[in-house]
Structure 1
Amino acid sequence: MYGTSGIQITIQNQPILKLGKSGKYTYLGHDISLHGKASEAQLSSIAIEFHNTLRKINECPLPVSAKIQVVNDMAISKLNFYFSNITFPAKTLANMEDNIVKYIREWFHLNKSSNRDIIFLPSSKGGLGVISPSSMYVSKKLSFLLQALNSDDPQTKYSARSSFQLHMSKRKAVLHDANEGVA
């Protein structure tokens, strides 16, 4: 229906390469497949980079309140770029959260059995306001899926909605027509 063979796309007189199903592209120094998969070594490298950023924040002579802000601004925001393109295992995200909790407990001189929920609770609700990597990852993925489902491009919208319906039908979910019940 929408064939792409023979189409050559150029931007500023540079051809844009078309990748096959097994094709990979480089994103922020990491080779990523079109399926969003990165190698274990690359995921490990991202996790080590995150841990090193937390270690540097720990060693800098900032007050504790500023360190918490820097965790959000530097360590967590770096992950935001990766979350768009790479699928992260839950274990990797949990390890990142464990590292955050370890350092914050150290800064506030809390024991290891202290409640970690207060760390990731928004400051407007009495928490420290640190952004949870797993919450950020899920929200980034949901944002992408919603953009695809509501895309202005009819082919993208059709493909996303068909894929979603197939996904939900395999889980025996009851699907309703969007126009049903509208007067």
Structure 2
Amino acid sequence: MLKGEHVYLRAVERSDLETLLAWRNRPENRRFFREYRELNKDNQMQWFDKIVMGDRNTLMFSIVRPESDELLGACGLCYIDWVNRSADFSIYIGAGDLYIDDRYADDAGRLMMQYGFHELGLHRLWSEIYDFDDAKKLFFDRLGFTLDGRLRETHWAEGKWHDSLFYGLLEQEYQNNNR
């Protein structure tokens, strides 16, 4: 368990899956994810069994409010490249209508960065978001990530093409920002 100021992170449990599925299927949230269709319970169970439990290159966590043990969202390090020491940083808050906020998401984000750089010895964290995801742009800015690049017209959503934005944070940048 990873403890922060406003949240703690723990392993994703089977009991979390129904709530996580409902959040991921909300159209206002799903537009920010790679899913192009609504997921069903079988999709969710396959993700849990194959990726969360079975893929050593993915480490997923549930984001929980300490005082109530309320599930708030999920985050993780995905596509971990152990040779080049990099990982895709994934996060969302599903509780209420937060998606990404400056309290729970930022706290979980700081825990993930600390875990990735200190515990796992990663060199680089990165994330792909879409150009209309203003909340995550601000989130990555607050955490010290740099906009590394843009791939044009990679994502079809809401009747038009959108660009993918790639944010990155190097271990040295993290260390410099957290002294």
TM-score using structure 2 length: 0.29
Q: Larger RCO: Structure 1 or Structure 2 (Cα < 8 Å, ≥ 6 residues apart)?
A: 2
TM-score using structure 1 length: 0.29
Q: Which has the higher helix share?
A: 1
